[in-house]
Structure 1
Amino acid sequence: MGLTSNKVLVLAVLSAVLLFVGTVWWWPRLARRNWRAVIGRIGLLLVTQVAIFASIGLFANQAFGFYASWADLFGQESGQGVVVFHGGRGGSDGGPLQVVDTQPVSVSGGTRPQIGGQIQKVDIVGRTTHIATPAFVYLPPEYFQSRYRTRTFPAVTILTGYPGTAAALIKGLHYPQTAHDLSKNGQMQPMILVMMRPTVAPPRDTECVDIPGGPQTETFFAKDLPDAVSAHYRVGKKPGSWGIVGDSTGGYCALKLAMHHPESYAAAAGLSPYYKAPIDPTTGDLFHGNKEMRNSADLRWFMQHK
């Protein structure tokens, strides 16, 4: 059973409830002052609290999408990341972007793409960085309507925090549903959303940095991702066609990418971002002693000196 499955959450909640009831039931019998009773009380309290906190943690993870799997939670995920050699090809037909699944948007009439749009699950391989990562792409209803068949659309890259799960952008933050409703009400123009997490080389937190001798994450997001999406979908070619937004780590990445690569991203927004790449056990050595790279990853320094 997966970390985000309802079965795991229900099992954890039931365990917590049963342990709580068991504690109340057995407490009078454990009220004695011998060592066995003391150990019994400690054991029941400890196990019950662990079950309660596990239930709360699982519920919060489902709601906010912090971790996508058990391997992700324990820092053992390595299924996606840097492709050692991919020949520059993204799939059997040679494209850098492959659609692997589709799903409707949770809006009224959403089963019809012409009314609700469509969410496509895709695999993307960077032609220059050879980074492979999954993503979700939201296509607005207009994308499927015949009168717009020659129209191009602006695109926005949306990034989660670290480690994050892209599905939370759909189920938790409702980006496609919000985009659909705002567009329908004339509050924004129809646009393509590319939803993903910045963790493209799990379990490492690359902070969207081109790591010397490691994943070239900044180049992937600045060049490979827009190129792959534009090659597959009808994305506008004019300057200003791309924007980027993210929260936490994704917010830092969004601001940095727009500042470093205005030719790729004309606008950016960071939700609860920070402004300097941290160095901790999840990131490892990002700069390998390169002071210029370290300074460039500090957005306040970059604004003052560039």
Structure 2
Amino acid sequence: MGLTSNNIVIAAAVAALLLFAATIWLWPRLAGRGVAPVLGRVGMLLGTQLSVFVAFGLFANQSFGFYGSWSDLFGTQDDPGVVVDHDTPGTRVRVTDTRRLAVAGDSAPEVAGRLEKVNIRGPVSGIASPAYIYLPPEYFRPEYARRTFPAALVLTGYPGTAEALINGLKYPQNSHKLVKSGRMQPLVLVMMRPTVAPPRDTECVDVPGGPRTETFFTKDLPKAVADHYRVGKRARNWGVIGNSTGGYCALKMAMRHPDAYSTAVGLSPSYQAPIDATTGDLFGGSERLKRENDLMWRLDHKPAPPVSLLVSSSRHGEDNYRDTVRFVNKVKRLNRRGEPTRISSIILSTGGHNFNTWKREVPAALEWLGGRLSAPL
């Protein structure tokens, strides 16, 4: 059974319940003072506590998408498992599976839209990575047959899984509701995690001598998707949204590459890349590269890009609140000087760095994002 499957979560919960019941039932028989009864009591307590811990851990992982597989959990995954079609060397997007989206009414593509699991190959970066593409119902309707759609790249945090964007934060479901209610234009969503060179956390940086993650997301991916699907090819047709590490990536890619993304949303973002055991040395010891990936430094020292940015935080519960206020104020000062960068924010009264907080922010953030992207003519 897969790490995130319902069956394994249910099995773990049942096992924990049975061990708890067995402990209660057998406890009187283990009430003696001998070595065997003491070891029996210790074993029952440890077994019950371990089973409860495993059950809660599996449930939390399924809910928040920390790890997508057993190999991911134990750190043995060193290959994204990408299928490349060597018979058609020009192909950069390969569809490996299709799914119907469960919405009220019907699951037909022209009513619910469709999810496609794909592998995206980047010839410039040399990176290949899996993703999910959400195609809205309009994509399949005859009256939209000649329509080209705007698109948004949707990123998780680290380590994260693309499935968490579908099952946890429900981006396709929220998009479907917003379009159906007339609050947003239909978008094609490209959902994936920023970890395109697992298990390393590259923070969407072109690492000197390492993975060229930024190039993959800003050069390879928009072109590959636009060549395969009916989506626009200009920056004004593309936005990017992410949470946590994905939020930092979203803001940075728009600020550094306004020719790729015109709009970006950072939900609970950081504003500079951390250096720790998961990242390694991202900048090859270069202070210049480190500064250029610092979003606060960019606002003070680089020309303001013509992009629209949305950031989120909480007054209580989020560590990035002060930095977010500082970031917003810096952009507002640029606005007063006539610079083209625009800023919006979602500030909750309380909310931690977790999926429950981001669930509250995703609908408003998606509506804001969709309202700032241009539908190609």
Give the TM interval when normalised to the shorter protein.
Answer: over 0.9
Gaps of 5+ in 2: 303-377
2:18 alignment counterpart: 18
Distance 1:202 1:273, change over 3 A: same
Query: TM-score, with normalisation over the residues of structure 2?
Result: 0.76
- Equivalent position to 2:143, from 135, 142, 147: 147
Structure 2 CA distance, aligned partners of 1:11 and 1:298?
45
Deviations 1:170-223 (A, max 9, x none): 122111111111111110001100000111011111111101111000111111
2:270 alignment counterpart: 274
Contact residue 95 and residue 117 of structure 2 kept, 8 A: yes
Contact residue 160 and residue 250 of structure 1 kept, 8 A: yes
1:92 aligns with 2:87: yes
Gaps of 5+ in 1: none
Query: How do 1:63-102 and structure 2 match up within 5 A?
Result: 63-80=63-80, 91-93=86-88, 94-102=90-98
Query: How do 1:96-245 and structure 2 match up within 5 A?
Result: 96-245=92-241
Per-residue deviation at 1:230?
Answer: 0.8
Segment of structure 1 superposing worse, 66-75 or 6-15: 6-15
Structure 1 CA distance, aligned partners of 2:251 and 2:17?
45
Per-residue deviation at 1:104?
Answer: 1.1
Per-residue deviation at 1:28?
Answer: 2.0
Contact residue 126 and residue 224 of structure 1 kept, 8 A: yes
1:255 alignment counterpart: 251
Deviations 1:27-73 (A, max 9, x none): 22333333433332222212211110110111111122111001111
Amino acid at match of 1:50: L
Instruction: Specify the SS of the correspondent of 1:135.
Output: strand
Per-residue deviation at 1:232?
Answer: 0.8
Segment of structure 1 superposing worse, 221-230 or 282-291: 282-291
Distance 1:239 1:213, change over 3 A: closer
Amino acid at match of 1:303: L
Structure 2 CA distance, aligned partners of 1:41 and 1:134?
48
Structure 1 CA distance, aligned partners of 2:35 and 2:17?
26
Per-residue deviation at 1:109?
Answer: 4.3
Root mean square deviation, CA, Å? 1.8
Contact residue 90 and residue 124 of structure 1 kept, 8 A: no
1:44 aligns with 2:40: no
Amino acid at match of 2:44: L
Structure 1 CA distance, aligned partners of 2:112 and 2:106?
4
Contact residue 104 and residue 110 of structure 1 kept, 8 A: no
Distance 1:131 1:238, change over 3 A: closer
Structure 2 CA distance, aligned partners of 1:139 and 1:146?
14
1:290 alignment counterpart: 286
Deviations 1:263-289 (A, max 9, x none): 111111111221221112211221120
Structure 2 CA distance, aligned partners of 1:164 and 1:8?
19
Instruction: Specify the SS of the correspondent of 1:156.
Output: strand
Structure 2 CA distance, aligned partners of 1:110 and 1:160?
28
Amino acid at match of 1:176: P
2:349 alignment counterpart: none
Deviations 1:218-275 (A, max 9, x none): 1111111101011111112344110000111111111111111111111111112212
Structure 2 CA distance, aligned partners of 1:28 and 1:296?
66
Instruction: Specify the SS of the correspondent of 1:256.
Output: helix
Segment of structure 1 superposing worse, 214-223 or 2-11: 2-11
Query: TM-score, with normalisation over the residues of structure 1?
Result: 0.93
Instruction: Specify the SS of the correspondent of 1:240.
Output: helix
2:320 alignment counterpart: none
Percent identity between matched residues is 58
1:58 alignment counterpart: 58
Contact residue 90 and residue 125 of structure 1 kept, 8 A: no
Per-residue deviation at 1:90?
Answer: 6.0
Question: How many residue pairs align between the two structures?
Answer: 301
Structure 1 CA distance, aligned partners of 2:189 and 2:27?
55
Amino acid at match of 2:66: F
Amino acid at match of 1:123: N
